[in-house]
Structure formats: structure tokens, C-alpha cells
Structure 1
Amino acid sequence: MKVPRILVVDDEPDVEALISQRFRRKVRKGELELVFAHDGQHALEVLNENPDVDIVLSDINMPRMDGLTLLERLGELESDLQTVMVSAYGDMRNIRSAMNRGAFDFVTKPIEFDDLEATIEKTLEHLRMLRDLQAAKANAEHAHLMLSRYFSPSVAEALSQNPEAMLSGERREATFLFTDLENFTPLVEATSAETVVGILNEYLDGITETIFNHGGTVMKIIGDAVQAIFGAPVAREDHAGAAVQCALALDEFATGFKDRMNTAGIALGKTRIGVNSGSAIIGNFGGQRFFDYTAYGDAVNIAARLEQANKIFGTRICISESVVDQIPDFQGRPVGTLRLKGKEESIRTFEPLPAEKVGSEAMQAYRDAFALLEAQDPKARQAFAALVGAFDEDPLTMFHLGRLLRGEAGAEIS
């Protein structure tokens, strides 16, 4: 705390001299500063010129404005200064009134200076504790404000109580989700800045709100692309299931948003989503000056590549087998076995589906056709051709039929 400053308010001329003499050594050492006023009205004027006063030591009986009235006026100020009242010995009525109006403590006349010093030290210690609490509260509120930009409200609340918990890196199992908005760059080039800003902000508000609603953490927003994590910084066992439910909700929001924009004459594309579970190093990688809570590892890279794989399959959501394995009641369909460049092992991929679609006749027919495809059964081509003719156009069905017509067999895709 800075050098404490005390305002002494008393109409008796010798009080200033006595107190100045008593505390001269502390004043000379820079341990204390004293300012004086002759009555309550004068005290308010002095406070206006010295807003950093810490303690007001005030007599009660003074002309123009007495100490009790001054105490009321001090209570109207937006300040944490503390007041110690001085009253005649035995004047319990005024002392009680002063304490009821917010005085921290009191001393009696004639002043015992040892008692006064002890009271001032006790008041300063109380003020230090009060300011420490205020600083801690302000820091917590600031941390909560900053964290709420990245985390769901429940996660932000937990971390604001212990913000250092997220600063150290750790290796953890989690689920990673990547989104990308198709053909947004051409739209930017052909549309006014005001329109683009409005569209992108509304879109990102919807995306991030959906992630937060499912307990996810936004790691990065790069242009129209969003990277999120489930299961960190606050651990949860169902991170894979939460990420899949979030992906379905994101798809519903993004599809509705696209349709609305298209109706308004804005050629907004679809949103592609990739999801993968695995181990990664997670923490703040922004150094001391920049907060960058993110994750590094193969599991993160695979999620990004699954998002891009949607371009090949014609799907909007593509998730890995590592996600599906953690969801006992997974509802969806197989997409294919994807061989990623630079990876020795292929990755089985799936498309999650809403409950109303997963049990449909079309989806069961697709699963039957896919089983033939995986077995490299020649009947797979006929099965997929029948699907295209019998049901509404399905990009994934068209993708597999195209491969079969080109003579490609099996479900592994390079």
C-alpha cells in the first residue's frame, strides 16, 4: 500500500500541533502523511483536493459541520477510506451514533496517544485487508471476463476461481472439433465490408454460443474457422459424446443460417465439421504477454484433416472411430476408411446423424450397401445405384457410387 495519509479534523488549534509532534518521526521517515481540517465543511474541501486520504480522524463537536454530519457525507463518497471518531469520555450516545453511521473505531478525549497509534495501525491493517479483497475480486472478475471469451459459462466460472490452473501445459485425452465455412473468401471479395462484418459476426456468435452450450472451449477463431476442444481445461468423461452432440447442433445452426442468407441473396456456403479424440498437450502457449489456450498433437491435426475430408465425401460432419468408440449408443453411419498422407494407419470415419434420420429406411439401406462395399462384394455397385434411384440425392451415396463406377473397390480411400 502507498504511504498512508490521515486527515485530522478538529477545531481546537492545539490538536494539529500535538498530533504533528507525536507522529513527526513517522512523517519524516515517509511512513505517514498528515493533512488537517478545522471542521466538517473544511474536511470535505480538503478531501476534494486530496482524494487519496486513507483515514479520517474526526472530532464530533465542531462548528459549521459536526463530525456526525461529516460521517454521513463521507458515506456518500465512492471511497474506501475509514473513519475514526474522537469524542469526550463517556459520551456513549454520540459514539454509538457514530458507529451506527459507519465509523470504523473511536478514541476518547483527552487523547491517549498510545491508544491513538494502536487504533490507527488497526485501522490501516483493516484497510489493507479490505483493499486486498477488492483487488482479488477485481482480478477474479477480470479473469472471468477474459475466460468467458473462450469458455462456456460454467467452465469460465470454475477457472476464474483458479485461473493459474490453465496456464501450465499437460498431456490429456480430449476431443477436438474444427469448423470451416465453405467459399467464404469469394464472398468477402464480392461483398461490402459492412455486410461481411455483419454476416461473420452473427455466424461466429452462433457457432461459439453452440460450442459453449455443449461445454466446449474455443481455442482459436481464424477468419471464419473455429477450433474447439471438449474435456479441457475442465476434465469430463463424456467429452467425445458432447463434441458429437455439439457437431450436430452446429450443423443445424449453420444450415439454417446458410438458408436464411441464401434467401436474402447472399451465397453463403455450408459449414464443414471434423471431430477427433486423442491425446494432446494442452495449455497456454502464448507466453507471459499473450493468452493462447490451445492444444498440440496428432489428434488435433487429424480433426483438422477430417474437416477437410468432408470436401471429398460430400458430407458436412466427419468424425473418427476414436470418437465413436467412446459413445456406446452412437447414432450415425460409416463413411469410409481414410488413409491420410504421412500416416501409417488408416482411420475409419463416420457421419453422426440426428435421431430422426438414423433409423430411417434409407439409412439402413445405406448401411447394407456399405457392408457390401467393405467386403469388396461386386453387388455393392448395384446396391449404391439402387440407393441413388430410390432415395433423395445423397452426396455420400453418390461419392461411393462414383468410386465403384471408376473400378475402385473397398471402403479405403486415399
Structure 2
Amino acid sequence: MSLGAAIAKILVVDDEPDLEALILQKFRRRIREGAVTFLFARDGVDALALLAEHRDVDLVVSDINMPRMDGLSLLAKLQEADEKLSTVIVSAYGDMANIRVAMNRGAFDFLTKPIDFTDFETTVDRTIFHVRAMREVRRRQVEAERAHATLSRYFSPNLAERLAADASSLAPGGHRRDVASLFTDVAGFTSLVESLDPALLAELLNGYLALMTGIVFAHEGTVGKIVGDAIHVLFGAPGDQPDHASRAVACALALDEAAEAQRVRWRERGVDLGATRIGVHAGPAIVGNFGGDRFFDYTAYGDTINTAARLEAANKALGTRICISAAVAERAEGFRGRPIGDLVLRGKAEALRAFEPLSPAVYADPGTTRYGEAFDKLAAGDPAAMPAFASLVGLRADDHLASFHLRRLLNGESGTRIDLRAA
């Protein structure tokens, strides 16, 4: 069996003075070709000293009966190490009792004296092949663990585990997929950065991002990018998620609830953390690892991604915290929400129907029904839309979307088409 191109380093431990010369003679061709190299020690004490200097030894071939430290004692020492060196034990044929003890204590194989060098070479080849196979298994395990640690920053733990085991879907390059794209951004965060102590800012931002990404991962989302306080999340990539729209809506609501609770906690500490604005859109996108092996950047490109980002930004003008497209609402199973209007976003000519998703409790509130009735009047051009929205604002001054429509009507606008290209 060939040892392959890589050189094999073998430590022979034996107190017979002639053995070294015999081995070097028998293996001279392979030594000359650079296939194998030998180290020699007279007993276990010498062997341990050599092993401390030569960490790249592949195999130990050791006699049992030697002065100072015998082969069985050396074997015990080698078995205590973190990386247990494969050991072939050599002894006289009549000493089979000690050979059996050695095999029971972890020796890989054995040879009998007088040594048959054909058998010696075959045993060495077989052992080296085993050693390298085991090292390759360990190398792949370490790579998988390292990949899992890296992937866990972007993907949910379950998905990261699957990708670490088979990361073929993360090969450099992109491919087209149907996804739901979700963007978040904290209102007024730049101003907050300038006013906070760096230590307090680090505590706030680290806690916020840990909370948000934890929720994303709980919904099996993929973190495409984090820039400051802003997060881009993908559903439907890299693995198929037929329910990606439903996951995105559920995730958006959970993010909103957690972010609002976080705002209350920081307000109690005297820090005015802004609202988290969220935009979601669904459709085709080019997704993949565009950075390659050294710089891992699993991300997405295309109009679907741009539209989601602009829906997030639209919240500022609308007074909402979550704004999703009809493409998402139509695909999300059992969607609960209220229509916002037909938005003309920056860079767009066509209007896009947008919705505000609602929690079950808010959706069941009578105010939601009344909003729907007022919106229907707005869509129909009914003059009664203005008093309908005014009545809603009177009942709930914190209904910013109703206030937005009322302001539009008071300013002479009508209908559901909302031009946000200048916003």
C-alpha cells in the first residue's frame, strides 16, 4: 500500500544496536524518494524526549523489553496524550502474553521477532493509512465546528448545523430564489450614538442586536447583514421555506413587540431609544455567498430587497412601525392586518399596496373594524372618510396611521394612492 506523496515520519524504539542500520537499508529507496523518514530511540525515555521535539511523528514502532522504560510503559504514556499516537508493538513470538496486554491497552498492531521486513513494511503502510484517515476525519470535524461557529452568526442554530455538515449551498456565487426580505432600523439612532457614553452605547446595541437576532433565529430566518443598528433578514434562503411569508410576518410582529419592551426598559434608565421600523416584501431575488472563502457574505440582491428596504423607510412618513407589501400579506397564511394604502416608493412609478400587520388582540379590537370602514370610504372617494378618521383619532390619539390619513384629507388629498418618492 502506497504512503502517498506526503512524507511519513516513524519513530522506532528498540535497544538492539543493529536494527537501525537494517531498517535504513531496507527502506533506503523510499527514504531517498522522500516517502518516509525514521527517528530512532533506545528506550521509552529517549522516545518521549524525541516526541517532545518532533510533534509530527505519524507512527511509533516499539519493542516491549527495554531498559529504563519498557514498551508497555511507553504505550501507557502515549495513550494519556490528547492525540494518541498509533503504536505498533514488537516482541518475541514467545511473548504473546505481553503482546495481548499491549493490544488491550490500545496498540494498533504488533510484529514478532525476528522481524520479517516485508511484514514490517506492510504493517507500517497499513498503520500510516489508518493514521491519516483518522486525521482527515478530525480535520473535517474541526472545520465543521469552525464553520458552525461562523454560520451561527447568520443562521438559526438548526440551519447552521445543517449547513456546516454540507455547505454546498453556500458555495461562492448566487442563484435566484423566492424569498421574503425583512429590514429593521431604529429611529433616531445616529443622534442617540452621539449623545451616549460609549460603554452604555455598547451595552444598549449589543443587547438590542442579541435580542433581535435571537427572535430571527427562533423563526428560522437568515441574518443577511447587520449595519450598525439595522438588520437585513431573509426567509426562504439558503434552504427552502414554502411558508417564508408567514414566517416573515410572525417574525416582524415578534420583533416589534420585543423592541417596544426594550424601549420601555431603556426609558426607565433615562435613554430615549427610538422605535424599530420594519419593512417586508416578498418575491424573487439573487441570493448567495458573494464573498467567497475568506470573506463570508451571504446576502441577496434585486428589486425585492430594495422594495423591502424602502417599505421600512416608509414607516417614518406613515407613522407605522411595520409596513409590508401585498405580496407578503397574500402569501401569509391567516394574515391579520389593515390596509395602509397604495404606496409609490422612491425609485418606483407604480403603486404598491401596503399593509400593517396586527397582533391577534389588536386585530380583534373594534377600532380595527372602524379603521377598515374608514379606509373603504377613503378608497371610494366618500366625503365621509374625513369624519370617520377624525372619530378614530378622537378615540385613539396614538393611532398614527389614522392620524396620517386624516392629515392627508385635511390637506386636500384623497384616495389611497400615497406618493412617498420625496419622503
Aligned to 2:288: 283
Counterparts of 1:162-181 in structure 2, within 5 Å, are: 162-167=166-171, 168-181=173-186
CA distance in 2, matches of 1:6, 1:342: 69
| Deviation larger for 259-268 or 18-27 | 18-27
* Post-superposition offset of 1:385: 0.9
Q: Following the alignment from structure 1 to structure 2, what is the Cα–Cα distance between the partners of residues 147 and 28?
A: 45
Quick check: 1:43 aligned with 2:26?
no
Partner of 1:385: 390
Relative to the length of structure 2, the TM-score reads: 0.95
Q: Does the 8 A contact of 2:6 with 2:35 survive in 1?
A: no
Maintained 8 Å contact 2:249/2:332 = no
Provide the secondary structure at the position in 2 that maps to 1:141.
helix
User: What's the counterpart of residue 128 of structure 1?
Assistant: 132
2:418 aligns with 413
Select the residue among 55, 65, 77 that pairs with 2:59: 55
Alpha-carbon separation, structure 1, partners of 2:118 and 2:255: 70
Equivalent residues of 2:180, 2:245 under 8 A apart: yes
1:116 to 100, 112, 120: 120
**2:192 & 2:395 partners in 1: Cα distance?**
35
Q: Which runs of 5+ in 1 are unaligned?
A: none
- Of residues 6, 15, 40, the one that matches 1:11 is 15
Letter in 2 for 1:410: G
1:284 to 1:97, Cα distance in 2 relative to 1, 3 A: same
Map of 2:370 onto structure 1: 365
SS at match of 2:342: strand
The superposition leaves residues 239-274 of structure 1 with CA deviations (integer Å, 9 ceiling, x where unpaired) of 000011000010011101111111101121110000
Superposition pairs for residues 146-165 of structure 1, below 5 Å? Answer: 146-165=150-169
Contact 2:310 2:346 in 1 (8 A): no
Gaps of 5+ in 2: none
Q: Within 5 Å, which residues of 2 pair with 1:21-40?
A: 21-40=25-44
Aligned to 1:395: 400
* Range with greater deviation from structure 2 (158-167 or 394-403): 158-167
* 2:26 aligned partner, one-letter code: R
Instruction: Give SS of 2:119's match.
Output: helix
Task: Name the SS of the counterpart of 1:133 in structure 2.
Answer: helix
- 1:13-412 equivalences under 5 Å are 13-167=17-171, 168-412=173-417
| 1:80 shift after superposition | 4.4
Residue type at the aligned position of 1:266: V
CA-atom RMSD, angstroms?
1.2
Whether the 8 Å CA contact 2:183–2:312 is kept in 1: the answer is yes
- The aligned length equals 414
Measure how far apart 1:122 and its partner are.
0.5
Query: How far apart in 1 are the matches of 2:78 and 2:346?
Result: 72
Query: Residue deviations 1:98-151, cap 9 Å, x none?
Result: 111111111111100000000000011111111111111111111111111100
Stretch deviating more after TM superposition (12-21 or 109-118) = 12-21
Tell me how far apart the structure 2 counterparts of residues 382 and 351 of structure 1 sit (CA, whole Å): 22
C-alpha separation between the residues in 2 aligned to 1:303 and 1:187?
Answer: 25
Greater shift after overlay, 159-168 or 369-378?
A: 159-168
Instruction: Give the deviation of 1:165 after TM superposition.
Output: 1.3
C-alpha distance in 2 between matches for 1:344 and 1:196:
40
CA contact (8 A) 2:59 2:87 kept: yes
1:28 & 1:280 partners in 2: Cα distance?
58
Normalised by the length of structure 1, the TM-score is 0.97
How big is the shift at 1:78? 2.2
In 1, Cα distance between equivalents of 2:50 and 2:398: 82
* Alpha-carbon offset, residue 176 of structure 1: 0.2
* Aligned partner of residue 129 in structure 1, secondary structure: helix
- Separation in structure 2 between the aligned mates of residue 324 and residue 290 of structure 1, nearest angstrom: 35
Q: Secondary structure at the match of 1:325?
A: helix
C-alpha distance in 2, partners of 1:257/1:65?
A: 66
Shift of 1:292: 1.1
Could you tell me how far 1:341 is from its partner in structure 2?
Answer: 3.4
In 2: Cα distance, 1:387 partner to 1:25 partner: 94
Counterpart Cα distance in 2 of 1:53 and 1:161: 30
Deviation at 1:82, TM superposition (A): 1.1
State the Cα deviation string for residues 42-81 of structure 1 (Å, max 9, x = none). 2111211222211111001112111111100001122242
| Structure 1 position 40, deviation (Å) | 1.2
Structure 2 residue identity aligned to 1:200: L
Change (3 A) 1:263 1:280: same
Q: Partner amino acid for 1:8?
A: V
SS of the residue corresponding to residue 289 of structure 1 reads coil
SS in structure 2 of the partner of residue 399 of structure 1: helix
Deviations 1:257-303 (A, max 9, x none): 11111110112111000000010110111245321111111110000
Query: 1:333 aligns to what SS in structure 2?
Result: strand
